[in-house]
Structure 1
Amino acid sequence: MIRTLLPPARGSAERTADGLRVLAAVCIVVAGIGWGPASGASLAGVTAGMFLPRLLRVRASFDIAFGIGVLVAVWSSVLQIYITTRWWDVPMHLLTNGLWAAVVYISLVRLGVIADAATLPRPMLSAAVMTTALGLSLGVTWEIWEWIGHTYIDEGILVGYNDTVGDLFWGGVGALVAGLFLPFLTNRSVRPESAPRAAEH
């Protein structure tokens, strides 16, 4: 079953993506020992998320970009770069929100929850609209978690009107860009390869 879900890597790009997952697993221990259990838990969550592109069998370059993006984002939090370098928050929301929006979109299509934009009359526009909506929803969810963290865990977590609106805006832009480039990111229709085609009349 594992070999079915995670077939052996083919080519150097897929092996690189798998190497990033191994690195992320090592980082769980490093972060947990060096920065505490909360940091280790953050790396564990990111490591689990990094298996999604592999399960979805998207283009290997997208898999690599996703892995690098989420690892940089979580280590930026662990090392408090968001506090020491305030502008760093903008490119991270732009990048990671776009990557996550694309992954969630592809996942929902594979699960049959939403339609594959490739089957609709205006595929590029449909994909862009859907990924942007998903990206904004993910952004709102993230901001809620930030508020919970600030209120109940650590007051050092940055919250505020300008910060929240800015994060949502740049995250939405990243999701829009991801939607426009979905055909390149996946290198195929996002439907399962075994999905039956509609009968031709």
Structure 2
Amino acid sequence: MTTPMIDNFIRPPRGLTETVADLIRIGGVLSFFVALAFFELTEAAVIAFTLPGMLIARFLGMTPIPDAILTTSLIIAAWSNVFELYTSIAWWDMVIHFICAGGLAVAAYVYLARIGAVPPPGTHRVAAIALTTSLGLSLGVLWEVVEWVGFTYVTSQIYVTYEDTISDLVVGGLGALVCGVAVAHVPLVREEQVPASPQLECLSTSP
């Protein structure tokens, strides 16, 4: 017997938008092998680090548009490192942190909703905004730790400064806040994918 998340992953795409989202995901996975063949190993490793994020929306049964946005943003984030856009374009790093932190916070919220730990997306507005913002900030801290480890033990080419770290956390938190508004108002998963949690039913009727 397969689990619901495995069922989501192996389920064939339905409709054009789901097919497009899957094609974007396949392109992201293939881009790892392109990087492995034509670029440095450390650059391929950066892309490999984003692969779980490219797959998570499929496992969670997210609707195709949020799926495609999350996957595309991670592909762009990874290849921006390969082409050194973070150092050549002053504001590019903040744009990527804003989008990726928000998208990953949404995915984290959807996962927690699937296991009944938080209200389903599109129900309890206050909880959705507060929790998504908190998740984005937490993921931002984890990302900065990974950057520091990479800079300290892998390669000094990773750009790490105090100002960069603080600005990344602030911008990522703002991105998560904006995406929290989307979680509060927009159903982000197929209706059959997030069963209502008995412990949280009383919250779903709150404004």
Aligned positions, number: 196
Give the drift of 1:117.
Answer: 5.7
Moved more, 71-80 or 37-46: 37-46
Partner of 1:58: 62
Equivalent position SS for 2:91:
helix
Contact preservation (8 Å) 2:121, 2:186 = no
Point out where structure 1 has 5 or more consecutive residues left out of the alignment: none
Partner of 2:173: 172
Superposed counterparts of 1:65-84, under 5 Å: 65-84=69-88
Contact preservation (8 Å) 2:120, 2:196 = no
CA–CA distance in structure 1, aligned partners of residues 43 and 89 of structure 2: 19
Partner of 1:152: 153
TM-score, with structure 1 as normaliser = 0.87
Superposed CA deviations along residues 97-153 of structure 1, whole A, max 9, x for unmatched, are 0000000111122123x2216697xx2121111011111111111111111111122
Equivalent position SS for 2:118:
coil
Contact preservation (8 Å) 1:116, 1:190 = no
Partner of 2:139: 138
Give the drift of 1:36.
Answer: 2.0
Contact preservation (8 Å) 1:58, 1:185 = no
CA–CA distance in structure 1, aligned partners of residues 192 and 130 of structure 2: 16
CA–CA distance in structure 2, aligned partners of residues 12 and 61 of structure 1: 11
After TM superposition, what 4+ stretches of structure 1 lie above 3 angstroms from structure 2? 117-120, 187-191, 193-199
Q: Which of residues 2, 7, 12 is equivalent to 1:4?
A: 7
Residue 14 in 1 paired to residue 18 in 2?
A: yes
Give the drift of 1:52.
Answer: 1.1
Superposed CA deviations along residues 73-120 of structure 1, whole A, max 9, x for unmatched, are 1100111110111210111000000000000111122123x2216697
User: Alpha carbons of 1:165 and 1:4: their partners in 2 closer, same or farther (altered >3 Å)?
Assistant: same
Moved more, 102-111 or 91-100: 102-111
Contact preservation (8 Å) 1:110, 1:190 = no
User: Alpha carbons of 1:59 and 1:118: their partners in 2 closer, same or farther (altered >3 Å)?
Assistant: closer
User: Alpha carbons of 1:3 and 1:154: their partners in 2 closer, same or farther (altered >3 Å)?
Assistant: closer
Point out where structure 2 has 5 or more consecutive residues left out of the alignment: 203-207
Partner of 1:115: 118
Partner of 2:194: 192
Aligned-residue RMSD, C-alpha = 2.5
Q: Which amino acid aligns with 2:128?
A: A
Partner of 2:164: 163
Partner of 2:205: none
CA–CA distance in structure 2, aligned partners of residues 22 and 144 of structure 1: 28
Partner of 2:126: 125
